[in-house]
Chains A and B, each alone.
Chain A
Amino acid sequence: MTDQTNPQETTPTARSPFSEALEMFLRNYAAVAGLAILILIALAAVFGPGLYGTDPFDMVWAPFSPPGADGFLLGTDYLGRDLMAALLHGARVSIVIGLAAAFMSVVIGVSIGALAGYYGGLIEEVLMRITEFFQVLPTLLFSMVIVALFGASLPMITFAIGIVSWTAVARITRSEFLRIRELEYVTASRASGASNGKLMFSVILPNALPPIIVQAALMVGSAILFEAGLSFLGLTDPNVVSWGQIIGSNRQYILDASYTVTIPGLAIFVTVLCISLVGDGLNDALNPKLRQR
């Protein structure tokens, strides 16, 4: 072979885009700190209730005993229930609803956005009009109606949150598909006989994922907030503790026992903030244009 490439060029090691993104993410200290706190919260949610043992619905002590008093780390609420137990159990519910609702939004949004962006034409028109319809609905009102009509079970609340928040994912997915569809490597795959399904899901979608992943991460946070809002308004399963529900049920006593509201509020705040930091870090890590900075 006469025209071997320059022998003096050193062969770079095979690094996947994933390992590069990871390195970039690890350089973002705020995101790493956020991720660490999130892991702690997740661990608390998974193992906390089992280790702590107290049932959040049991009346264990006198009502309104402040944090630290009488051996209860976070005190008790207006019915004398242990706030620490409620917080740990609530973490599970809040996080599960957040993840499930975000997952649902991604599934709906990616499907609709991918079909619209890939096929274009009439399919795109119809799908995007549907998306716009959901976008202009007053989200809180719409999900309240769903929960009020079909009952306040956890799956229904997840559904109510998911159904109003997928539009952003659909729009992002569509615009990424529109952009990537025109790139030559997609044409190259088409020229070598790839089917529509293969083009959509194994050629275009992996390249469209970065902004979708970022959006999905941020959506977990907003779903947790959304759930808290619904619970605060009483639209929640009364037999399940969530952070929003703690705030909602204690709201009348906010002046007498502010800690019963501030502590779960703080938990929501910290969790959502950490999710945002991680989302931001993911954005930097997955966006190749920023990588050269």
Chain B
Amino acid sequence: MSALLSVQNLRIELTTRDGVAPVIDDLSFTLDAGEVLSFVGESGCGKSMTALGIMGLLPDRIGRIAGGQIMFDGEDLTKASEKRLREIRGNDISMIFQEPMTSLNPVYTVGEQIAEVLRAHQGLSKRAAWAQAAELLDAVRIPNPRGRIDDYPFQMSGGQRQRVMIAIALACKPKILIADEPTTALDVTVQAQIFDLLRDLRRDTGTAIIMITHDMGAVAEMAERMIVMYAGRRAEEGRVDTILEHPRHPYTRGLVSCVPHITDHLTEARDVLTEVPGIVPSLRDFGQDQCLFAARCTMAEDRCRAQRPSAVAFGTDQRADCWRAEDV
């Protein structure tokens, strides 16, 4: 079975004052239809850039795809025209963002904003679009959708606004939904509602989801596979359960154990949390021929600082880009 989305050796470059930096450096992955894949990492590791690259929404004049392929349904998106990308965006691939406060237009009602997408992409009549907008609001579990369709964004809570964003994203039944930190700005009980909604929508529509997050708990809850990103490169990739059970990259291990988790049964014991010292390197230092995590890694040896590690496979579904992956 061929994958729905297949990214090969993707390289995205960002031009900064200090020169050109590879914010995505030789990244390859695949996404199957109906699958949930999660990108994890700290801010500044290139998670969002991957999403923007797929959407063709890299910042003008600053960012560009410098190499590789993004094959979607047999079509290379890196070679597609702007017009074609516009057709794909919102229709085949949609995106929801972190900040539900600012991603809706404050001067239009939510109904108008949903109907607008339907009319633009699917050529529905005004009346048909309006009726379907109400159905979508119902599908994302906004109570009393026919009454709320005339609300302006400021009349809704943060959770409801994120539901409206999901309704807009799903309006054209996309094959892929990219969710960039979709619940980071929301309360946990609302986050649980949104996760529940996304899970049900995927089951009903078969939409594949790429979820970008920094929260391992959210990954465990939502995704089947995950890719841990560090400084523009893949650190580790594999099935979520496998990786959580036994991470093979020191960075993944750090990400899992540096956060205090609620476990099934708490005890008096509270250990000192594992620290990942230091911070993500600045863009200037991206792209060097060494392990970029070496500076923060407790296991680093000379080889790590001399050569970029190659992938080590564990079983069929786990790969870690680390020279000492066997020892982790």
Contact = CB atoms under 8 A, between A and B. Distances in A.
Chain A bound to chain B: yes
Interface of A: 3, 5-6, 8-9
Interface in B266-315: 275, 277-279, 295-296
A9 B279 contact: yes
Contacts, number: 13
Contacts of A8: 278, 295
A5 B295 CA distance: 12
13 contacts: A3-B275, A3-B277, A5-B277, A5-B278, A6-B277, A6-B278, A6-B279, A6-B295, A6-B296, A8-B278, A8-B295, A9-B278, A9-B279
A6 B278 CA distance: 5
A9 B277 CA distance: 11
Nearest to B272: A2
Closest 3 CB pairs of A and B: A6-B278, A8-B295, A6-B277
A169 B275 CA distance: 49
Contacts of B278: 5-6, 8-9
A47 to B, nearest CB: 42
Contacts of B279: 6, 9
Nearest to A3: B275
Contacts of A5: 277-278
A113 B275 CA distance: 47
Given A5-B277, A9-B278, 8 more contacts: A3-B275, A3-B277, A6-B277, A6-B279, A6-B295, A6-B296, A8-B278, A8-B295
A8 B300 CA distance: 13
A79 B278 CA distance: 78
A3 B279 CA distance: 13
A6 B296 CA distance: 7
A9 B275 CA distance: 16
Contacts of B296: 6
Nearest to A8: B295
A221 B279 CA distance: 48
B21 to A, nearest CB: 15
Nearest to B275: A3
A289 to B, nearest CB: 15
A5 B278 CA distance: 6
A19 B291 CA distance: 36
A5 B279 CA distance: 9
A99 B275 CA distance: 57
A23 to B, nearest CB: 13
Contacts of B275: 3
A290 to B, nearest CB: 13
Nearest to B276: A6
Interface in B235-278: 275, 277-278
A6 B275 CA distance: 11
A146 B173 CA distance: 72
Contacts of B277: 3, 5-6
A235 to B, nearest CB: 50
Contacts of A6: 277-279, 295-296
Nearest to A293: B17
Nearest to A4: B277
A3 B274 CA distance: 11
A244 B278 CA distance: 63
Nearest to B16: A292
Contacts of B295: 6, 8
A6 B295 CA distance: 8
A246 B296 CA distance: 72
Interface string B77-109: 000000000000000000000000000000000
A5 B296 CA distance: 10
A8 B277 CA distance: 10
A79 B296 CA distance: 82
B136 to A, nearest CB: 38
A4 to B, nearest CB: 8
Interface string B50-92: 0000000000000000000000000000000000000000000
A154 B41 CA distance: 67
A9 B280 CA distance: 10
A6 to B, nearest CB: 3
Contacts of A9: 278-279
B28 to A, nearest CB: 29
A119 B295 CA distance: 49
A3 B278 CA distance: 10
A8 B275 CA distance: 16
Nearest to B277: A6
A11 to B, nearest CB: 13
A39 to B, nearest CB: 30
A3 B298 CA distance: 13
A239 B231 CA distance: 72
A6 B293 CA distance: 12
B281 to A, nearest CB: 9
B234 to A, nearest CB: 22
A8 B280 CA distance: 12
A8 B279 CA distance: 10
Contacts of A3: 275, 277
A282 to B, nearest CB: 21
B283 to A, nearest CB: 13
A9 B296 CA distance: 10
B282 to A, nearest CB: 10
A5 B275 CA distance: 11
Nearest to B17: A292
A272 B277 CA distance: 54
A78 to B, nearest CB: 58
A24 to B, nearest CB: 12
Nearest to A9: B278
